[in-house]
Amino acid sequence: MLTQIREEKLRNRHLRIRKKVSGTPERPRLSVHRSHLNLFAQVIDDLAERTLFSSSTKASSFRGKEEKQLGNIEGAKKFGAYLGVELKKKKITRIVFDRGGHAYHGRLRAFAEALRENGIEF
Protein backbone atom coordinates (compact mmCIF):
# COMPACT_ATOMS: atom_id res chain seq x y z
CA MET A 1 0.00 0.00 0.00
CA LEU A 2 2.73 2.48 0.92
CA THR A 3 4.70 1.57 -2.19
CA GLN A 4 1.68 2.33 -4.36
CA ILE A 5 1.21 5.71 -2.68
CA ARG A 6 4.91 6.54 -3.12
CA GLU A 7 4.81 5.57 -6.82
CA GLU A 8 1.63 7.58 -7.36
CA LYS A 9 3.19 10.66 -5.77
CA LEU A 10 6.29 10.26 -7.95
CA ARG A 11 4.11 9.93 -11.06
CA ASN A 12 2.11 13.05 -10.11
CA ARG A 13 5.31 15.07 -9.54
CA HIS A 14 6.63 13.95 -12.91
CA LEU A 15 3.39 14.92 -14.68
CA ARG A 16 3.45 18.31 -12.96
CA ILE A 17 7.01 18.89 -14.19
CA ARG A 18 6.15 17.68 -17.71
CA LYS A 19 3.44 20.35 -18.02
CA LYS A 20 6.20 22.96 -17.92
CA VAL A 21 9.21 21.19 -19.46
CA SER A 22 9.32 20.46 -23.17
CA GLY A 23 12.13 19.72 -25.60
CA THR A 24 12.70 21.45 -28.94
CA PRO A 25 15.18 20.70 -31.73
CA GLU A 26 17.44 23.50 -30.40
CA ARG A 27 17.10 22.42 -26.75
CA PRO A 28 16.02 18.80 -26.44
CA ARG A 29 14.79 17.42 -23.14
CA LEU A 30 17.12 15.13 -21.19
CA SER A 31 14.81 12.77 -19.33
CA VAL A 32 16.47 10.86 -16.49
CA HIS A 33 15.03 7.77 -14.85
CA ARG A 34 16.62 6.62 -11.61
CA SER A 35 16.20 3.02 -10.58
CA HIS A 36 17.64 1.38 -7.50
CA LEU A 37 20.87 0.32 -9.21
CA ASN A 38 21.06 2.26 -12.49
CA LEU A 39 20.43 5.55 -14.28
CA PHE A 40 18.72 5.77 -17.65
CA ALA A 41 18.83 8.88 -19.85
CA GLN A 42 17.02 9.84 -23.04
CA VAL A 43 17.44 13.00 -25.11
CA ILE A 44 14.03 13.77 -26.60
CA ASP A 45 12.72 16.26 -29.16
CA ASP A 46 9.11 16.62 -27.99
CA LEU A 47 7.98 18.63 -31.03
CA ALA A 48 9.01 15.90 -33.47
CA GLU A 49 8.24 13.18 -30.89
CA ARG A 50 11.65 11.55 -31.45
CA THR A 51 14.31 10.17 -29.17
CA LEU A 52 17.61 11.60 -30.36
CA PHE A 53 19.88 9.59 -28.06
CA SER A 54 19.51 7.18 -25.18
CA SER A 55 21.89 5.40 -22.86
CA SER A 56 22.13 3.93 -19.39
CA THR A 57 24.64 2.75 -16.86
CA LYS A 58 23.86 -0.76 -18.13
CA ALA A 59 25.05 0.01 -21.68
CA SER A 60 28.06 -1.99 -22.80
CA SER A 61 29.60 1.12 -24.39
CA PHE A 62 29.65 2.77 -20.96
CA ARG A 63 30.21 -0.07 -18.55
CA GLY A 64 33.61 -1.69 -18.41
CA LYS A 65 33.99 -5.38 -17.71
CA GLU A 66 35.63 -4.77 -14.34
CA GLU A 67 32.93 -2.41 -13.03
CA LYS A 68 30.11 -4.17 -11.27
CA GLN A 69 28.04 -1.49 -9.55
CA LEU A 70 27.48 1.97 -10.98
CA GLY A 71 24.28 2.89 -9.11
CA ASN A 72 26.05 5.21 -6.68
CA ILE A 73 27.20 8.84 -6.79
CA GLU A 74 30.57 7.95 -8.32
CA GLY A 75 28.85 5.95 -11.05
CA ALA A 76 26.50 8.88 -11.71
CA LYS A 77 29.48 11.21 -12.13
CA LYS A 78 31.11 8.81 -14.60
CA PHE A 79 27.84 8.40 -16.48
CA GLY A 80 27.37 12.19 -16.67
CA ALA A 81 30.87 12.62 -18.09
CA TYR A 82 30.25 9.82 -20.61
CA LEU A 83 26.90 11.28 -21.65
CA GLY A 84 28.41 14.76 -22.02
CA VAL A 85 30.97 13.42 -24.49
CA GLU A 86 28.34 11.46 -26.42
CA LEU A 87 26.01 14.47 -26.65
CA LYS A 88 28.84 16.62 -27.98
CA LYS A 89 29.44 14.00 -30.68
CA LYS A 90 25.77 14.44 -31.66
CA LYS A 91 26.27 18.25 -31.61
CA ILE A 92 23.87 18.72 -28.68
CA THR A 93 25.22 21.33 -26.26
CA ARG A 94 22.03 22.82 -24.78
CA ILE A 95 19.33 20.73 -23.09
CA VAL A 96 16.35 20.99 -20.77
CA PHE A 97 16.85 18.78 -17.69
CA ASP A 98 13.88 16.59 -16.70
CA ARG A 99 14.62 14.94 -13.37
CA GLY A 100 11.59 12.64 -13.61
CA GLY A 101 9.90 13.73 -10.38
CA HIS A 102 12.89 12.86 -8.22
CA ALA A 103 14.55 15.39 -5.92
CA TYR A 104 17.64 17.16 -7.22
CA HIS A 105 20.20 15.65 -4.87
CA GLY A 106 22.45 12.64 -4.59
CA ARG A 107 22.91 10.73 -7.83
CA LEU A 108 20.87 13.14 -9.96
CA ARG A 109 22.84 16.14 -8.73
CA ALA A 110 26.18 14.39 -9.34
CA PHE A 111 24.99 13.39 -12.82
CA ALA A 112 23.87 16.95 -13.66
CA GLU A 113 27.08 18.53 -12.38
CA ALA A 114 29.18 16.10 -14.43
CA LEU A 115 27.18 17.06 -17.53
CA ARG A 116 27.81 20.74 -16.85
CA GLU A 117 31.54 20.12 -16.36
CA ASN A 118 31.60 18.52 -19.81
CA GLY A 119 30.09 21.58 -21.52
CA ILE A 120 26.38 20.80 -21.63
CA GLU A 121 24.24 23.85 -20.77
CA PHE A 122 20.93 23.73 -18.91
Going from N- to C-terminal start, the domains of the chain cover: 2-117
Beta carbons within 10 angstroms of residue 101's beta carbon: 17
pTM summary value: 0.87
Q: What is the pLDDT of residue 71?
A: 80
Inter-CA distances, 108 with 24, 93, 95, Å: 22, 19, 15
Q: What is the pLDDT of residue 11?
A: 93
The class level of CATH for 2-117 reads: alpha beta
Q: What is the pLDDT of residue 84?
A: 95
Q: What is the pLDDT of residue 3?
A: 87
10-residue averages of pLDDT along the chain (122 residues): 89 92 92 92 94 92 75 92 95 93 93 95 92
